[in-house]
Amino acid sequence: MSIHQSNIKRVTTHQLQEMKNRGEKISMLTAYDYSMARILDGAGIDVLLVGDSASNVMAGNETTLPITLDQMIYHATSVVRAINRAFVVVDVPFGSYQGSSSEALKSAIRIMKESGAHGVKMEGGAEIRKSILRVLSAGVPVMGHLGLTPQSIYKFGTYTVRAKEEEEAEKLIEDAKCLEECGCFGIVLEKIPRELAKKVSKEVSIPTIGIGAGPDVDGQVLVVHDMLGITQEFKPRFLRQYADLSGIINGAVTEYIKDIKSGDFPSDKESY
Ligand code: KIV
């Protein structure tokens, strides 16, 4: 059934703004594939981010840098097929928008056209202003991303909290205002002090979505594999783990192997 035939109201950028205006927190999780996206959408998540963290959690890379535009489009297409309600935003991957504003526009249009997603996310502030404006001018909703921006990990050198010093904090506030002025529909704030995130969220009118940015933002995002306990070795302070799926999967698979070895599976009932 298409959205036009169903009664489900899709989440839009307008609704996200209204949520901020009335003080309702926005829920956001990453998704990279059809089956997981279907479960998350069915549970009522507001925004699904096809994050370039797919490079880490799906492909096993150390950083987000290797994932390609084609690979992001593949993940995004699978997620879009699954959803009835959530707003789907897709990371424009490293190397596909930093070159020029026309490169950014081309990449964003490919994502929107080929995957059917509803918006894109780009990391950076004033330095990518031109690219953001160009993408927005084509009618593509853009979400910003400030603070710890993993595509710049080799510039930072570590994944520690960003903008603890005044100079970097001031630049972050200026960047947030720049993204708002450009017309971005929201900003992800990653791993910054909670007081700074609170200040930014007060000073800009568009929704801020935090990850490791404390409670005084307009919404929260986590990497779904981390919050479900599928990834085992990544346990930063900001992460709340809501399930231990790796333990559950391990238990189920151990049982399955045991049943095969003992001849218990398949039974008569499970045979034709
Ligand atoms: O790629 C990603 O998962 C992200 C989130 C950490 C916000 O950008």
Q: Give bridge partners of residue 142 from the DSSP assignment.
A: 120
How far is the CA of 197 from the CAs of 30, 72, 76, 186, 261, in angstroms?
Answer: 21, 28, 28, 13, 54
From 62, 190, 195, 255, active-site residue: 190
Task: Tell me the best of 50, 188, 234 to mutate to test the pocket of ligand 1, counting ligand atoms within 8 Å of each CB and taking the most.
Answer: 188
Q: What percent of the chain has pLDDT over 90?
A: 96
In the structure, what pLDDT confidence band is assigned to residue 232 with cuts at 50, 70 and 90?
A: confident
Tell me what pLDDT residue 77 has: 98
Tell me what pLDDT residue 2 has: 52
Tell me what pLDDT residue 161 has: 96
In the structure, what pLDDT confidence band is assigned to residue 5 with cuts at 50, 70 and 90?
A: low
Residue 30: CB within 6 Å of ligand 1?
yes
Q: What is the mean pLDDT of the chain?
A: 96
Residue 120: CB within 6 Å of ligand 1?
no
In the structure, what pLDDT confidence band is assigned to residue 7 with cuts at 50, 70 and 90?
A: confident
Tell me what pLDDT residue 228 has: 98
Domains assigned to the chain? 3-241 (3.20.20.60), 244-272 (no CATH)
Tell me what pLDDT residue 150 has: 96
The larger pLDDT score, comparing residue 232 to residue 114, is at: 114
100 CA distance to ligand 1 middle (Å):
23
Tokens of 145: 């991303």
The residue nearest atom 1 of ligand 1, judged by CA position, is 51
Tell me: the pLDDT tens digits for 128-154?
Answer: 999 999 999 999 999 999 999 999 999
Residue 112: CB within 6 Å of ligand 1?
no
The DSSP code sequence of the chain is --TTTSSPPPP-HHHHHHHHHHTPPEEEEE--SHHHHHHHHHHT-SEEEE-TTHHHHTT--SSSTT--HHHHHHHHHHHHHH-SS-EEEEEPPTTSSSS-HHHHHHHHHHHHHHH--SEEEEEBSGGGHHHHHHHHHTT--EEEEEES-GGGHHHH-S-SPP--SHHHHHHHHHHHHHHHHHT-SEEEEES--HHHHHHHHHH-SS-EEEESS-SSSSEEEE-HHHHTT-S-S---TT------HHHHHHHHHHHHHHHHHHT-SS-STT--
pTM of the model: 0.96
Active site residue 114: no
| Residue 272 confidence (pLDDT) above 60 | yes
Best CA proximity match to 231, nearest among 111, 74, 59, 68: 59
Q: Give bridge partners of residue 6 from the DSSP assignment.
A: none
Residue 229: CB within 6 Å of ligand 1?
no
Tell me what pLDDT residue 68 has: 98
Q: Give bridge partners of residue 208 from the DSSP assignment.
A: 187
How many separate helices (H) and strands (E) can be counted in the chain? 11, 8
Residue 92: CB within 6 Å of ligand 1?
no
| Residue 8 confidence (pLDDT) above 90 | no
The span from the CA of 126 to the CA of 236, in Å, is 29
- Using the atom order of ligand 1, give the atom closest to the CA of residue 52: 1
265 CA distance to ligand 1 middle (Å):
41
Tell me what pLDDT residue 13 has: 98
99 CA distance to ligand 1 middle (Å):
21
Residue 93: CB within 6 Å of ligand 1?
no
| Residue 3 confidence (pLDDT) above 70 | no
205 CA distance to ligand 1 middle (Å):
22
Tell me what pLDDT residue 179 has: 98
| Helix-helix angle 34-43:69-82, to 10 degrees | 50
User: 94, 62 in Cβ contact below 8 A?
Assistant: no
Mean local confidence (pLDDT), 152-161: 94
| Residue 4 confidence (pLDDT) above 70 | no
The residue nearest atom 8 of ligand 1, judged by CA position, is 51
101 CA distance to ligand 1 middle (Å):
22
User: 57, 250 in Cβ contact below 8 A?
Assistant: no
Tell me what pLDDT residue 6 has: 65
Tell me: the pLDDT tens digits for 25-80?
Answer: 999 999 999 999 999 999 999 999 999 999 999 999 999 999 999 999 999 999 99
Mean local confidence (pLDDT), 94-106: 97
Q: Which residue has the tokens 């001031």?
A: 170
Tell me what pLDDT residue 234 has: 87
Mean local confidence (pLDDT), 157-161: 93
The residue nearest atom 4 of ligand 1, judged by CA position, is 51
User: 179, 186 in Cβ contact below 8 A?
Assistant: no
| Residue 86 confidence (pLDDT) above 70 | yes
